Structure 1
């Protein structure tokens, strides 16, 4: 029964993608690519879209090839971030306090030999692998993020403040679904480096592009991501740049949220008030629509929106749209469909959501992808969802009768 309903949904979404449900003259989009994170003051431009030729026989492969390309995307942030504006932090002073070069041990002495070849690159940093050998113990591996050099137009104080803002948050977070931040040190060339646990399984983007993930794997990944987000929000931290490139696997298949360069503290431990955030940050396809309005927004809901986009990518290996603005015809069609449907009525769900499988997940994803942030689900709502509570994750004991599952880890040989 589920397969029959999914086939009809595929037919429905095919017509929608080919333009019958789009505004007149709106072109359908191109196949999936990695997303750049926004770090400019301009609104991101939407790439020119090309027409997709309909296939004579409709297949799931054809559907996957018709959406916006899933590619690695750099993160972006415009205007001053909350930390740069001097927003209060419960995670230590934002300045260079405690980071005197006289008292900092060298990277090599503390964490071993660091490879010259990078295992990852970002807009403001390069990540390398460090090997540490100790007597009577196995080799330990660390991921070492080397930050960019100080720019000519910024003071030493401004530079160190930007470096330590991320560390002050990430170093206080300890959860099975969060990348562990170990230290902030200088290497022999006096470059500031953040030392983290090494996630040998690679990132979720590579796993999605590799393909072959079972339904159990997809649901497990999603379940772990939401558990990680729940922990962050319980600490008053919002990530604001959740995307497959910032989600990593360790050797056991545990999903870990990393890269806290765009994160913000929206509530201090002793507060009940939620502080609104400002600034455009994240990666275009994963940015919630309210972030483009140049108004304060609830950063928790930005994370919820991004998690739902990641689930869509896990399911179809493509993006639902390029950017959540009405200038994007695919998003415009989705937004219009949401206005005429109810998130509590599964039979009236927009095609973007009604195609997802299993059927039981659709009401939750509709609430997570609610264009109106005031109506969007919070993380507590997600965890209470009837479908979600039955999602099995490998970080928890298997339920009775479960056969379990194995993750496809792109960073490890099979």
Structure 2
């Protein structure tokens, strides 16, 4: 989308933000704050060009997107022979993972509604995230959510391969050679909603050898005490891929539609900035 960022050799690294399986991210300050993701070195089996093509995928996906709930990308740089490859992005804030433990459910649902809005935008543009989880959701002090880490994303609904984080991965990702990445994202959103209400995950892995998942297949989800609107959503998100809602059905659901959330320039009513103090 061609977002402009002016950087200088005099810009200073403020702090380390985090690391994942693909690289590490640092926060820099120049004329503004920005994040730089430095990708890990190429694999032995890759040529320099193959490596650059693999790691540039994230930039190519994000560069075509423009939504305030999706992290903004500025530029992609590579050194001679592609020995150092970096992605420059806006600073999106802190992951919501730790905030979940000290925030009441109604405030967390503001975050969740924004996550859904971001995913709705992605799916409208045929982008499957394929690794939706709380660690890949940032929030800034204004209360705006940013979806991050598009390394494993796909621009085609037809998906292949096992990607994602165990607790959030849909069962068809393990059991099928080809699956719908858009629909598998909905499963991940369902697991997130389950955690928001129960403060625990239903299972470690959606496979038959996991007791919690096997119990779900035999008896369904135990949703005692869950409000009816939440129960309807969970039952239609955490289900087989042939019965699972798509993002349009989810966002049109009455309970989801009525959730209050921060919008650009319109706060939800909570002072989210206190979570950063």
Give the alignment's TM-score, normalised by structure 1: 0.62
SS in 1 for 2:86: strand
1:108–1:187 contact (8 Å) kept in structure 2 = no
Task: Report the Cα offset of residue 398 of structure 1.
Answer: 6.5
Task: Report the Cα offset of residue 397 of structure 1.
Answer: 7.4
2:18 counterpart of 1:120: yes
2:234 counterpart of 1:365: yes
Quickly say closer, same or farther: Cα 1:409–1:374, change in 2 above 3 A.
Answer: farther
1:392–1:398 contact (8 Å) kept in structure 2 = no
- Residues in 2 aligned to 1:125 and 1:398: alpha-carbon distance in whole angstroms: 35
1:374 alignment counterpart: 242
1:253–1:409 contact (8 Å) kept in structure 2 = no
The aligned length equals 273
1:204–1:245 contact (8 Å) kept in structure 2 = yes
2:165 counterpart of 1:260: no
Task: Report the Cα offset of residue 107 of structure 1.
Answer: 6.1
Task: Report the Cα offset of residue 302 of structure 1.
Answer: 0.7
From 115, 131, 150, the equivalent of 2:42 is: 150
- Please report the RMSD computed on the Cα atoms of aligned residues, expressed in angstroms: 2.5
Residues 8-407 of structure 1 aligned to structure 2 (within 5 Å) = 108-109=8-9, 112-115=11-14, 117-133=15-31, 140-186=32-78, 191-200=84-93, 202-208=94-100, 211-266=101-156, 275-338=157-220, 350-351=221-222, 353-356=223-226, 358-370=227-239, 372-395=240-263, 404-407=269-272
Quickly say closer, same or farther: Cα 1:242–1:409, change in 2 above 3 A.
Answer: farther
Q: Which has the higher strand share?
A: 2
SS in 1 for 2:102: coil
- Residues in 1 aligned to 2:154 and 2:168: alpha-carbon distance in whole angstroms: 17
1:107–1:187 contact (8 Å) kept in structure 2 = no
1:199–1:251 contact (8 Å) kept in structure 2 = no
2:95–2:135 contact (8 Å) kept in structure 1 = yes
SS in 1 for 2:77: strand
Quickly say closer, same or farther: Cα 1:249–1:222, change in 2 above 3 A.
Answer: same
- Residues in 1 aligned to 2:243 and 2:43: alpha-carbon distance in whole angstroms: 42
- Residues in 2 aligned to 1:308 and 1:160: alpha-carbon distance in whole angstroms: 34
Query: Highest CA radius of gyration, 1 or 2?
Result: 1
Task: Report the Cα offset of residue 312 of structure 1.
Answer: 1.8
Q: Which has the higher contact order (CA 8 A, sep 6+)?
A: 1
In structure 1, list runs of 5 or more residues that go unmatched: 1-90, 92-104, 134-139, 267-274, 339-349
1:207–1:408 contact (8 Å) kept in structure 2 = no
Deviations 1:91-133 (CA, angstroms, capped at 9, x unpaired): 9xxxxxxxxxxxxx99644x82234x52111112010111113
Q: Which has the higher helix share?
A: 2
- Residues in 1 aligned to 2:264 and 2:49: alpha-carbon distance in whole angstroms: 44
Give the alignment's TM-score, normalised by structure 2: 0.90
SS in 1 for 2:16: strand
Task: Report the Cα offset of residue 409 of structure 1.
Answer: 6.3
- Residues in 2 aligned to 1:132 and 1:123: alpha-carbon distance in whole angstroms: 27
